[in-house]
Structure 1
Amino acid sequence: MKKIKRSRILILGVFVYIVFQVGSLFISKSTETLALESEELNAKIKTKGLFIREEHIVKSTEKGVLDTIYKEGEKVKKAEDVAYVYKDDKIEKINLQIKSLSEEIKKSKAELEKKSNELSKDLAKNQIKTKNEQKKILEVEKEKITSCLKTDISGIISYKFDGNEEKYNLENLDKITKDDIENTSNNYEDMTKENNNIKDEEPIAKIINNYESYLAICVDKEQAKNFKLGNNIKISSNNLQLDAKVYKIYKSESNIVIIFKITNQNIGIYDTRVEEFDIIYKQMEGLKIPKSSIKKVGNKKGVYSVNEQTQDIEFIELKGIGYENDEFVFIDYYTNNIQGIETVSLYDEIILKPNNINKNIKIK
């Protein structure tokens, strides 16, 4: 009887061992793992942004006929003439006379060079002198009826207005509200005028400082945690790729307004007030670790990794976490490598969903 009992126990033990080995083999083969590779992180929020620029409006100082000098988008210098307003409609006649005299003087000078007779030369010189005097009289007359319009700043000239030039300016950077950002639209109107009648104090052009511009967004308190004063960020849309710094952060009712200073020297867009943007607040390369693979052992947070040589399962503490959200953490592998920090490394194979069985078995 004892021999039979021992045989049964031995057979049961062998059966349990076989079941365990087969189960372990099945579990090991069905265990999902992930080989860590370098990835690029672009942590961002998508939101509407409002442009604020230094925009100097040039207004007519007289009622009359407008004559602009520059085309849309051309660069002008500070205190430079950008347009003329003629107060008398006889300006066209004066301009024609000046032009005619200029051509006659040029022709007379060319003929003078060909003359050899001294008497003929003196006569030609007197005629040129007379025409120059007539031209000067006309120019003085023209000056009396001409008002020169100048710019107070240097920048890019534009004839497109949206009516918000004086509202959204650099003096009001800390007064932008959520309603300003959400309710403003792109309503630019081309006000280009050439040889048209113009009223006194009517806007005729604006000069935009193309070296200083800002973008305002509105976020909730949770989103605002991603932004710190002075941080570098990227602003992206279909048309633009901008570099910027966090310039101001302030509360507007229950929301937070963030002002970015654009650091691109010339963004080249002057007829857009608002647009949808991707605000990229964190960019880095590293190792993306799914939250499902992370476990806590004692007070250490880490992952279970398959040893490449022994195929044993090892627990590795996560260090150098550069970014974290609800789905994954991002390990700054390159900084860890430079500083000699021992943690997960490139090409480590980690268990995606560790449990009490697969984190203790040997992977076949």
Structure 2
Amino acid sequence: MAKSNDSTDRITERRTIRRKRQKRAWMIRGAVAAVLLYLVISIVFSLYSGVTTTIALKGTVEEEVLADGYVFREQTLINAPASGYLECRVSEGDRVNEGQLIGYVYTGQYDAERSQKIQELSDKIARFENSVASENTYADNSVMVEQKIAAAARDLSDLRSSHDMNLAAEGKEELNLLIEKKHAMESGGDVDFASELEDLKQQLQELENSTGGAKMELRAQTPGVFSSRIDGMEDKLSMEAAETVTPSYLESLDQIALQRKETVTQGEPVCKIVNNYGWYFGANIDADQAQNLKVGQGVRLRFFDLSDTSVYGTVRALSQEERGKVAVSIYTNRYVNGIYASSRASAEIVTTSAEGIKLPAQALHVQNDQTGVFVLRLDVARFVPVDVKYKNGEWAIVSPVTNTGSEYKLQIYDEVIVEAKNLEDGKVVR
């Protein structure tokens, strides 16, 4: 009898558990069905109401022209005193003074590995000479040495962040020299930079003698920015040519193959000094795009292959149309990294730029001769007047109107109606 009761209890317990599981399953199914029903109703309502909105946020609208063109500038060419190869003593893009030593022409046989060692030793000697020159400045002044170490460490960190490994290596060496100087001062001694400098000069002398030729100086004939990149187009990209450039002239430049030589020839250009106070960018653009430009107009130039920054310039010349093209010349005196060594360049010419609240152009409406937008306030459409600063086929830049009798003013983060059926002020749209 006891066994029968135990069996009955187990059956009853199992039935109870089964009922609880079934009840829980139905509850979950009901919740899922409710969510699905809500989504279906929301989608149907959204499709029926036809309301599309956007959030009012600050933005910029730009109109730009992409152009491949040329850099026109004033530059002084320096010819090679003999045939051989060039070893620079200043870096590309450095500013130099008139009469400054900028490099040597070696007349011996060119050897890439030896040339690299000569360049490295020359750079190291220049850094040591700076160290020797500054020794008297911070002699027995540990505080100044520590400041120089801190500055060199910051510079090294910036160079590593920019992935400039060549300059980072130089920065590391300079930092090590300063640390060596500080340790010597703390121990009561000193670092004999002068002796090390003489040793480096001796190594350089031996290396130069191994070239088997002469060594001739090159000095800057005028102040400016140094560049060793001679490409054969220097005489065709003068400042005077930029003022009268035509589509045909620029097209003729496209046919010229840029030259790059490891060796130099006597009497031919070996490097140049660029006047960095002003230069032109000249390019051919479509005639319909040129209609948005006029002489004297301010524009921005963005040389995306050279730098992330943009510079301001002025349209100085617009040519007559030739076969659907117009040549534009833009003058600027702003610096762009690498621009003085480049003859050909690609640029974005930003002709228009407007900043403000950026909205789709179709969000604009006109009521009672007033331009505005409809903003959702508690699911009610409210007409809000705005000032249109700029508008094209896709976007509009607007600002709030504050001097009207309307109680509503456009604000950042407002929900603006872009599209809706039978839209009018005060209408419930949700």
Query: What band does the TM-score fall into relative to the shorter chain?
Result: 0.5 to 0.7
Gaps (5+ residues) in structure 1? 1-24, 88-145
Residue in 1 aligned with 2:77? 57
Cα separation, partners in 2 of 1:300 and 1:71, compared to 1, 3 Å: same
Shift of 1:183: 5.3
Return the match for 1:202 from 238, 254, 268. Answer: 268
Within a 5 Å distance, the mapping from 1:352-363 to structure 2 comes to: 352-356=418-422, 361-363=427-429
The letter of the residue matching 1:274 is R
What TM-score comes out, normalization by structure 1 length? 0.60
Residue in 1 aligned with 2:311? 243
Q: Secondary structure at the match of 1:363?
A: coil
Return the match for 2:232 from 151, 155, 163. Answer: 163
Q: Distance in 1 between matches of 2:404 and 2:218?
A: 62
Q: Distance in 1 between matches of 2:65 and 2:49?
A: 40
Shift of 1:165: 0.7
Larger Rg computed on CA atoms: 1
Contact 1:27–1:358 (CA<8 Å) still a contact in 2? no
Return the match for 1:303 from 364, 373, 379. Answer: 373
Deviation sequence 1:140-181 (CA, Å, 0-9, x none): xxxxxx997654421233332222211111122212222444
Correspondence 1:316 to 2:384:
yes
Q: Secondary structure at the match of 2:234?
A: coil
Return the match for 1:212 from 278, 281, 286. Answer: 278
The letter of the residue matching 1:55 is Q
Residue in 2 aligned with 1:93? none
Gaps (5+ residues) in structure 2? 1-44, 108-214
Structure number having the greater helix percentage:
2
Cα separation, partners in 2 of 1:324 and 1:253, compared to 1, 3 Å: same
Deviation sequence 1:156-210 (CA, Å, 0-9, x none): 33332222211111122212222444553584433454xx7x54x4323222223
Q: Secondary structure at the match of 1:233?
A: strand
The letter of the residue matching 1:246 is T
The letter of the residue matching 1:316 is V
Q: Secondary structure at the match of 2:337?
A: coil
Contact 2:354–2:390 (CA<8 Å) still a contact in 1? no
Residue in 1 aligned with 2:4? none
Residue in 2 aligned with 1:41? 61
Within a 5 Å distance, the mapping from 1:102-121 to structure 2 comes to: none
Q: Distance in 1 between matches of 2:83 and 2:374?
A: 82
Cα separation, partners in 2 of 1:31 and 1:283, compared to 1, 3 Å: same
Return the match for 2:331 from 226, 240, 261. Answer: 261
Correspondence 1:329 to 2:392:
no
Within a 5 Å distance, the mapping from 1:76-225 to structure 2 comes to: 76-80=96-100, 151-182=220-251, 184-185=253-254, 187-193=257-263, 198-199=265-266, 201-225=267-291
Q: Distance in 2 between matches of 1:210 and 1:37?
A: 40
Structure number having the greater strand percentage:
1
Q: Distance in 1 between matches of 2:423 and 2:59?
A: 30
Identity %: 19
Q: Secondary structure at the match of 1:50?
A: strand
Q: Distance in 2 between matches of 1:274 and 1:296?
A: 48
Shift of 1:217: 2.7
Q: Secondary structure at the match of 1:347?
A: coil
Contact 1:184–1:274 (CA<8 Å) still a contact in 2? no
Within a 5 Å distance, the mapping from 1:280-291 to structure 2 comes to: 280-291=350-361
Residue in 2 aligned with 1:233? 300
Q: Distance in 2 between matches of 1:47 and 1:323?
A: 24
The letter of the residue matching 1:272 is S
Deviation sequence 1:80-99 (CA, Å, 0-9, x none): 46578899xxxxxxxxxxxx
CA-based RMSD of the aligned residues comes to 4.0
**What is the total number of aligned residue pairs between the two structures?**
273
